[in-house]
């Protein structure tokens, strides 16, 4: 009951005109009740009557329009259906005119929410979807739940989900995966499917489909089978029956997201089957209903002993290219490792040319200071789209940073990353600056040039004070917050240890991935294969990702590598010092609560940036200056 009360307090004022706690996100409209709206009676009409400051709007349905597209011309919004009209209504409230259509039909949030209400890599409180009456952990050993143990969606919780749906619709997000990719089989038990049905009913009017992450061994955990072998007829029959059960409850259910044979999760490899065989079995189950399977390529470990981790996804999947059903989509992270502050693009996008692919981006800042650092992520994603043509993808997924905190995202500026994901999912050719200007204007009242500068510089600052020049994955174990360049645990896989990635020794630093090392460069298409392979032509931002470089190596600015590393760490800290100054100067223009909460986070970020600089430089100095 205590948590219900907290939820009520957190959500009841979410979109009230007086709230200055960040709960209204970028939708900080005041009700004007001015516009006359003609056309279909729908949510778009309600939003415009409440918030549009013009006198009239005409809503027109045109079946010839493209799915989800809208046209704003004069006082008229035209779209194929009510969802398109809703997208057009929010665009009009942003001040847009003209025609707009999304790049991809699949614009999906991946929530890593667990059934007990916790969130893996979540930094903004508990799940907005899941809670049990006992609050106990739901795992594979939990007995099948009774309906009474799953906390019902009360009026207040429903209101919170409506506000969640409204925020997503305002930026064109049209799908949400409700649970963690490290999925409990209990997700597919009847009590939870009933709640999925209720959630789907709340989100549906806003154009949002629901999807579920599934555990590949669910037929054993829930169905009592002795195997989950995808070629076993009983296993295939179990999944077909489960799909029928789900679609009977939720006719527009989107499909399944699957993490298989990665980090201990079960999968077809347990039975010496391929990823294609596992995915196709599931694809056949949902195919009659129009469902899809999003199969993640984040697979490394057991079958690749001794192989460079960044090569393992291509090694694992390239043999299956062209063998997947047409309703299977391979979902791959933007980089070949794991959402680092900077990575080269993942070469799997160069190698799987006969398999539909979607990119997976991480909105929650697992490796970028979490909700304690101001780091605007649009530049990372824009960088990725500079290498991977959006036209080659069929969709995009973002690991959500949303929780029960009053401001939804833990940090007021982390809201910008949710917003930016949605806008880029609609149009990946928007610039980081364009999106930041939109968000600042809607969130802080006008476009503050200094805040814009701070946001646009924040990602590069993070790279500099954490891992410049291609350094990567030197975080503390498990929670991935703070530096630990000397990290090594004998009982951990080597590829989880920071020392594996920076390879610092008396000769130099960096991971040799050229043809004289792990040969990871060979997985890239030209011209990048040759560009990255040659130390002389490798872009300096990726230098230590692809090469083990002598400490005294002369960089393009004439300084040595060791001097450049120090300069980058110093520059990163200086940038955060400037962010603190900018925020102090902005105090007269920002409401007290949001200013103070953001100020506290920035001061913490500065302390942490200084810690990164000290710990990393002190450690690397022992090699670079011959003190080890």
376-414 pLDDT tens trace: 999 999 999 999 999 999 999 999 999 999 999 999 999
Q: Does residue 10 carry a pLDDT above 70?
A: no
State the average pLDDT over residues 346-353: 98
Q: Is 597 noted as a catalytic residue in this protein?
A: no
Query: What's the rounded mean pLDDT across residues 252-257?
Result: 98
For residue 151, the model assigns a pLDDT of 76
Please tell me the number of Cα atoms within 13 Å of 293 on its side-chain side.
31
Q: Is the pLDDT of residue 148 over 90?
A: no
Residue 35 confidence (pLDDT): 95
Pick the CATH number of 106-447 from 3.40.50.300, 3.20.20.80, 3.20.20.70, 3.40.47.10: 3.20.20.80
Active-site residue identified among 20, 140, 307, 338: 338
Helix (H, G, I), strand (E, B) or coil at 47: helix
Mean pLDDT of 444-454: 94
Average pLDDT, the chain: 94
The pair phi, psi for residue 361, each rounded to 5°, is -110, 155
Q: Where are the domains of the chain?
A: 31-100, 106-447, 464-511+548-624
> For residues 184 and 475, what is the distance between their CA atoms, to the nearest angstrom?
28
pLDDT band, residue 134 (cuts 50/70/90): low
Is pLDDT at 146 greater than 70 in this prediction? no
Taking residues 441-466, what's their average pLDDT?
96
CA–CA separation, 123 and 411 (whole Å): 9
Burial bucket for residue 191 (CB in 10 Å: 0-12, 13-18, 19+): middle
Residue 587 clears pLDDT 80, i.e. is over it: yes
pLDDT surpassing 80 at residue 513? yes
Does 120 participate in catalysis according to the annotation? no
Active site residue 366: yes
| Percentage above 70 pLDDT, the chain | 94
- pLDDT band with cut points at 50, 70 and 90 for residue 420: very high
5, two tokens: 């009360």
140, 263, 486, 567: the catalytic one is 263
Global pTM? 0.95
Question: Is residue 136 over pLDDT 70?
Answer: no
pLDDT at 17 over 70: no
Average pLDDT of 144-163?
A: 76
Element (H, E) at 558: none
CA distance 162 to 206: 9
Domain 31-100 - what CATH class?
alpha beta
**Calpha distance 393→466 (Å, rounded):** 31
Q: What is the mean pLDDT of residues 121-133?
A: 91
How far CA 189 is from CA of 180, 196, 410, in Å, comes to 15, 11, 31
- Nearest alpha carbon to residue 165 among 329, 425, 408: 408
Cα 381 to Cα 185: distance, rounded to the nearest angstrom: 33
The catalytic residue among 131, 366, 460, 575 is 366
pLDDT value, residue 305? 87
Better-predicted residue by pLDDT, 3 or 511: 511
Residue 581 — very low, low, confident or very high, per pLDDT cuts 50/70/90?
Answer: very high
- Report the alpha-carbon distance of residue 508 to residue 553 in Å, rounded: 9
Amino acid 84: pLDDT? 98
What's the pLDDT score for residue 145? 45
- pLDDT band per the 50, 70, 90 thresholds, residue 7: very low
Judged against a pLDDT cut of 60, whether residue 140 lies above it is answered with: no
**Which residue did the predictor score with more confidence, 146 or 287?**
287
Average pLDDT over residues 536-562: 98
Minimal CA–CA distance to 257: which of 169, 187, 316, 321?
187
- Asked whether the beta carbons of 424 and 382 are under 8 A apart, the reply is yes
Q: Is the pLDDT of residue 53 over 80?
A: yes
pLDDT of residue 608: 98
- CA-to-CA dists, residue 65 to 82, 93, 101, 316, 421, angstroms: 12, 21, 10, 41, 25
- Contact present, 360 and 313 (Cβ < 8 Å): no
Is the pLDDT confidence value at 12 over 50?
no
Backbone φ, ψ for residue 565 (5° rounding): -60, -45
In the structure, what pLDDT confidence band is assigned to residue 345 with cuts at 50, 70 and 90?
Answer: very high
Q: What is the pLDDT of residue 154?
A: 84
Question: Considering only the top CATH level, what class is 464-511+548-624?
Answer: alpha beta
pLDDT at 368: 98
The model's pLDDT over 286-306, given as tens digits with 9 standing for 90+, comes to 999 999 999 999 998 778 889
């Amino acid at each position: 009951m205590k948590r219900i009360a907290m939820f009520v307090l957190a959500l009841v004022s979410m979109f009230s005109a007086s709230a200055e706690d960040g709960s209204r996100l970028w939708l900080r409209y005041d009700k004007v009740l001015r516009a006359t709206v003609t056309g279909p009676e729908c949510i778009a009409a309600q939003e415009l009557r409440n918030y549009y400051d013009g006198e009239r709007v005409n809503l027109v349905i045109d079946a010839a329009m493209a799915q989800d597209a809208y046209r704003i011309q004069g006082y008229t919004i035209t779209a194929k259906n009510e969802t398109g009209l809703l997208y057009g209504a929010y665009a009009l409230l942003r001040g847009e005119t003209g025609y707009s259509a999304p790049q991809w039909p699949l614009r999906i949030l991946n929530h890593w929410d667990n059934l007990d209400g916790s969130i893996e890599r979540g930094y903004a409180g508990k799940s907005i979807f899941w809670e049990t009456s006992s609050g106990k952990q739901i795992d594979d050993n939990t007995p099948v739940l009774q309906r009474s143990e799953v906390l019902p969606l009360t009026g207040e919780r429903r209101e919170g989900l409506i506000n969640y749906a409204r925020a997503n619709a305002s930026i064109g997000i049209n799908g949400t995966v409700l649970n963690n990719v490290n999925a409990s089989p209990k997700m597919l038990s009847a009590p939870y499917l009933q709640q999925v049905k209720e959630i789907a009913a709340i989100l549906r009017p806003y154009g949002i489909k629901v999807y579920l992450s599934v555990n590949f061994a669910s037929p054993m955990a829930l169905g009592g089978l002795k195997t989950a072998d995808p070629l076993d007829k009983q296993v295939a029959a179990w999944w077909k029956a489960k799909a029928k059960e789900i679609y009977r409850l939720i006719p527009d259910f989107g499909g399944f997201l699957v993490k298989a044979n990665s980090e201990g999760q079960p999968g077809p490899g347990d039975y010496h089957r391929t990823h294609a065989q596992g995915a196709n079995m599931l694809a056949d189950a949902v195919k009659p209903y129009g469902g899809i399977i999003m199969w993640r390529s984040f697979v490394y470990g057991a079958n690749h002993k001794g192989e460079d981790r960044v090569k393992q996804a291509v090694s694992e999947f390239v043999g299956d290219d062209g063998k997947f059903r047409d309703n299977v989509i391979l979902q791959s992270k933007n980089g070949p490792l794991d959402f680092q502050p900077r990575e080269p693009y993942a070469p799997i996008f160069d190698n799987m040319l006969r398999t539909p692919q979607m990119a997976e981006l991480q909105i929650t800042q697992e490796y970028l200071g979490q909700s304690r650092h101001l780091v605007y992520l649009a530049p990372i994603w824009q960088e990725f789209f500079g290498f991977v043509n959006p036209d080659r993808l069929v969709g995009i997924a973002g690991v959500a940073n949303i929780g029960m905190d009053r401001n939804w995202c833990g940090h007021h500026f982390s809201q910008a990353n949710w917003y930016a994901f949605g806008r880029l999912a609609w149009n990946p050719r928007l610039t980081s600056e364009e999106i930041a200007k939109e968000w600042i204007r809607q969130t802080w009242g006008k476009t503050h040039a200094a805040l814009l500068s701070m946001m646009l510089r924040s990602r590069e600052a993070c790279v500099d004070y954490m891992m410049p020049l291609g350094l990567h994955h030197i975080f503390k174990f498990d929670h991935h917050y703070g530096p630990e360049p000397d990290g090594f645990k004998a009982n951990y896989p080597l590829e989880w240890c920071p020392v594996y990635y920076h390879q610092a020794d008396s000769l130099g630093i960096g991971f040799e991935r050229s043809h004289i090392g792990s040969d990871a460069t060979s997985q890239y298409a030209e011209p990048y294969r040759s560009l990255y392979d040659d130390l002389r032509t490798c872009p300096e931002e990726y230098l230590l990702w692809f090469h083990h470089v002598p400490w005294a190596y002369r960089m393009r600015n004439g300084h040595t590598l060791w001097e450049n590393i120090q300069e980058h760490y110093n520059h990163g800290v200086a940038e955060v010092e400037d962010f603190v100054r900018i925020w102090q100067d902005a105090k007269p223009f920002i409401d007290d609560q949001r200013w103070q909460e953001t100020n506290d986070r920035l001061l913490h970020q500065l302390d942490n940036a200084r810690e990164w600089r000290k710990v990393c430089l002190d450690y690397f100095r022992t090699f670079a200056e011959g003190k080890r």
